[in-house]
Structure 1
């Protein structure tokens, strides 16, 4: 299935005159009038929902800036170490409250939430709402998107201002911090509504719109994150008590059982390599892709996304040729993100994921023969490889050399399988099923299955160089936790989940130290992967609240997150 250019729909929303987040910061009578006048048909309700999707598809949100939020972890880092008050400071844990990207990401998440609040309020107040399944499905999409953005806020900043009513006046836009447990309750309420009012995906649906599977998958992720460690205002990493944790793990299993009962979602038919090539090629699938954030850029315009441009192998810009000739070549890719090279050895040679996740080459430009030339790179210069210029359709190469049409998939089936496996292990109810689920992911990539019987043999090489002393593998559950630590890295690296996995497991600082100290790249004097030296436990598990927000919102009492 080829892309339906969702962003065109979202752009059309702006032409209809729907009140924006900024417009809402006016006197309440005008805001209320705009809302009531706008939500008078199913078509306009749908356009309002498209406006929320559009806030996520902003280049400065999930198109590019959000790429920096989950880096660095134990798998990758940015190629430059100089302070820039942007991406490199985020990735190397040198950021402060004036970081311009953090400020933009913060603002965009609240803008999206306010659009969702307005849309949910508007749809639920429409005539005939109670008996209209389409309106309820549209509200369910809006609730999912609000939950997704709220979850981003909790993961990134912990306790934050949060409300589910739209900002109808300047004064009401400001709020005090809300305990994350209260926000989690709201997120779960929204996702429960979403899963109960959305249909499951089918072969004819599009992953650019959320379905029941996406809602259930995000619920699983929320429960796992809530069950784990998070940084609190006292500077301590804390997690719920064992009884609460079990409730959350049981809830994960319940959602997984719904996937099993439905039976539609599965691994991509063409395999792991074909899956990631399909993202770059603009081919949509609903079997493994539970939801994709859509990106599309039009000729000559500054829009679209940067997946495969800034986090893919480097491609030199063609020079010394005419504009018409340039359209025959790949265009430019900057290759800002570099893989911690030791990870390549953690894959078995036959594992199909290795050469997709890690790209060992770049393309230089030979102006004499007017060709791109593939150049192999040494360890320490390898790129994130899951999205690549060379895989993109030729008609997208030079519409604008800084942008691409590659969707970002924040929720896919393989992640759901591994989340279910983790829950089964943590509850102890069916550890064999946990291993079976984990190995189904490995089987898809043609890797050797791991069992308790061959565990020591499979882990022996890694223990010599990267012994995970922070995970006790002397017990059956500990062996599985160790295997899962590696498997989630092998399967999901660079997709935005790894850093938050390490935080909820309470090991981010320890993992950075282990990998940073032994990595070959840090044997150089300039240490291009400095996260392990800069990371401060009890501080860097969260971002700073932007200084402008601290200064403008009196209800924050001038207090930032711990350490900032």
Structure 2
């Protein structure tokens, strides 16, 4: 379905203009030649076309609005801001992203305006569609409800994204009048209402991957409740998803056997994919239906041809160090000199280098590319030859959104300046995250043994997954991972159990755009991010010069100055910006 999204953009705009047109003197109205009359759209077929336009904005990119800077994978706003990755590339390449990395951004930074535009354009599209549905007569009511429920759910999703990015934001529905809507109310109840409407009215089977169904709406609702710490309300929804949830094609949700398959193009829409942005390549869109938001995030000189951004941080890599029992170092000692993961930082690709031989969680080498470790079927990662500026960005490359050499040309766009436009879906919600929600809920409700069971489901999968191996089948590193045994100190108290949950999300969901938002909602962003900056700035001095997280300001992003200006002062800026 995604390959149709961008193609109907012009049709959507034409429909939006027509539906917003009003004139009391109908006899004076002349329909412009080449523009669709509203009657063409006022039926189920027309509504479905507008609905595709609503879905189209999910990936955060649009040829007519914005591109990588507003990617809904949130690699900038969730992962770089969350300390999982450095901006990468070199110091002079895209200083606007560097401002996010150092928390020195202001409201004039145009990447925030691009993000705002794509989110609120998605909201406008949903409201245009809902207004159209209100005028359709003589069609099957169940079909209309099915379309309406998708639109309302997606409206809730777009507002959720706005809420967690900017905090104080306006809510717009089909009844909103005027151009100037203030951001002076708490919109959480309205987000919940939209998502609950979808959960209560959407069917389980949708007949197409990529559509929201009952369980996708439920997962979005649960996520919104958890962000508000409404754990008791979220619990039955999460349990229902775990026990009964199926994807839009009717496949029951489950953890798939291999962790790495979640990031393999050939396993898109697996049983673990609760909801994903649907990417496709070589479909006539010129790459705009591919993962355009991730276009910069490929090894410089390696697969993808561009551009060396989004380089995993040393602190993030160190997090995969385990103790002698294959368990995380929850006390923070993974960053100590004796435990920090050895890298080729400062070495040319031709210089001798001995790999780290200490115990590591095997998820590291499916998440991060590092020298001497097989990089899918591309051979061994060469180190500096795939790094644009090692001194600035570090020695590592991202791996989760990359593709195999055998997939180039088949699942990557042909004929563009880069092969980094791929059909590799972005998993917005994985079933692994749903299980970790369940663990978080039980921790907050005081059921620590049950929380341990949930976390161990994730760790058991990591233990039994395929490891990265050399051609002879031997493990590429000293991989060790195990489950938490009964009575482990990590589950001796609620405080300790939280540490285990926070860390497991970091290991399992790393570089997937969640970390910054997690740290903020947990209330630990100030402590964690300033500790991170203190550590990483000693290694990447230039990249983190002057960096500091200010909890009074940086828990949310600045509302774009352009949006405040065109609102004629109706929108009020977040404190500190």
Question: Does TM-score exceed 0.5, indicating one fold?
Answer: yes
CA distance in 2, matches of 1:159, 1:134: 35
Question: Residue 252 of structure 1: CA displacement?
Answer: 1.3
Match in the other structure for 1:199: 203
Bigger Cα displacement from structure 2, 418-427 vs 40-49: 40-49
CA distance in 1, matches of 2:237, 2:487: 30
Q: Does residue 1:105 correspond to 2:101, yes or no?
A: no
1:215 corresponds to: 217
Q: 1:194·1:212 contact (CA, 8 Å) conserved in 2?
A: yes
| Match status 1:305 vs 2:321 | no
Q: 1:179 aligned to 2:161?
A: no
Pair 74,122 (structure 1): closer, same or farther in 2 beyond 3 Å: same
Q: Whole-Å Cα distance in 1 between the matches of residues 498 and 556 of structure 2?
A: 24
- Counterpart in 1 of 2:271? 287
Q: Aligned-pair RMSD on alpha carbons?
A: 3.2
Of the three residues 364, 380, 383, the one matched with 2:394 is 380
User: Given the superposition, is the C-alpha separation of residues 415 and 37 from structure 1 closer, same or farther in structure 2, using an over 3 Å criterion?
Assistant: same
2:81 corresponds in structure 1 to: 72
- Residue 313 of structure 1 deviates from its aligned partner by 3.5
- Determine the structure 1 residue equivalent to 2:10: 14
Q: Count how many residue pairs are aligned between Structure 1 and Structure 2.
A: 485
In 1: Cα distance, 2:367 partner to 2:208 partner: 25
1:482 aligned to 493, 499, 517, which one?
499
Q: Distance in 1 between matches of 2:238 and 2:404?
A: 36
Contact 1:77 1:92 in 2 (8 A): no
The answer for the alignment partner of 1:259 in structure 2 is 241
Mapped partners of 1:61, 1:195: distance in 2: 30
Deviates more, 1:440-449 or 1:291-300: 291-300
Tell me the CA shift for residue 16 of structure 1: 7.0
For 1:189 and 1:335, locate their aligned partners in 2 and report how far apart those are by CA, in whole Å: 41
Alpha-carbon separation, structure 2, partners of 1:563 and 1:64? 23
- Return closer, same or farther for 1:314/1:48 CA change in 2, 3 Å cut-off: same
The CA deviation at 1:136 is: 1.1
Match of 1:337 among 310, 313, 316: 310
Distance 1:100 1:525, change over 3 A: closer
Give 1:319's aligned residue: none
Q: Superposed, which structure 2 residues align to 1:39-58 within 5 Å?
A: 39-57=41-59, 58=61
Of 137, 146, 149, which residue of structure 2 is paired with 1:127? 137
Give 1:514 deviation, angstroms.
1.5
Aligned to 2:338: none
- Deviation of 1:372 after TM superposition, in Å, equals 9.1
Residue from 368, 391, 394 that aligns with 2:409: 394
> 1:296 maps to what in 2?
280
1:111-145: CA deviations, max 9, x gaps? 1101101112222442246x622221111111111
Q: Could you tell me how far apart the structure 2 residues matched to 1:39 and 1:362 are?
A: 57
CA distance, structure 1, for counterparts of residue 220 and residue 486 of structure 2: 30
Of 453, 475, 484, which residue of structure 1 is paired with 2:487?
Answer: 453
Tell me, in whole angstroms, the C-alpha distance in 2 between the residues paired with 1:313 and 1:258: 41
Segments of 5+ residues of structure 2 without an aligned counterpart are 247-251, 323-358, 385-389, 464-480
1:255-306: CA deviation from partner (whole Å, max 9, x where unpaired): 112123415443343411122123xx4x432411111112335468362323
- Whether contact under 8 Å (1:315, 1:389) holds in the other structure is no
Measure, in 2, the Cα distance between the counterparts of 1:40 and 1:116: 15
Task: Work out whether 1:563 is the aligned partner of 2:557.
Answer: no
Q: CA deviation at 1:161?
A: 2.0
2:561 is the counterpart of 1:547: yes
The residue that corresponds to 1:243 in the other structure is: none
In structure 2, C-alpha distance between the alignment counterparts of 1:352 and 1:157, rounded to whole Å: 35
* Aligned-partner SS, 2:15: coil
SS at match of 1:292: strand
Counterpart of 1:249? 231
CA change 1:305–1:9 in 2 (3 A) is: closer
Q: 1:394-424: per-residue Cα shift (whole Å, max 9, x none)?
A: 3325332153333221111111110111011
1:201–1:286 CA contact under 8 A, matched in 2: no
**Map of 2:362 onto structure 1:** 352
Match of 2:263 among 252, 257, 276: 276
Cα offset, 1:158, TM superposition: 1.1
Contact 2:68 2:295 in 1 (8 A): no
Residue in 2 aligned with 1:153?
162
Provide the TM-score with structure 2 as the length reference: 0.76
Higher normalized helix content (fraction of residues):
1
When normalised by structure 1's length, the TM-score is: 0.78
Deviation by residue 1:438-469 (Cα, 9 ceiling, x = unmatched): 1101111113112462336xxxxxxxxxxxxx
160 and 525 in structure 1: CA distance in 2 versus 1, 3 angstrom threshold: closer
Change (3 A) 1:536 1:312: same
Question: Does residue 538 of structure 2 align to residue 518 of structure 1?
Answer: no
Structure-2 change in CA distance of 1:455 and 1:98 (3 Å) = same
Shift of 1:250: 1.0
**Alpha-carbon separation, structure 1, partners of 2:576 and 2:372:** 39
The gaps in structure 1 that reach 5 residues or longer are 228-247, 317-329, 364-370, 457-472
Say which of 502, 506, 524 aligns to 1:507: 524
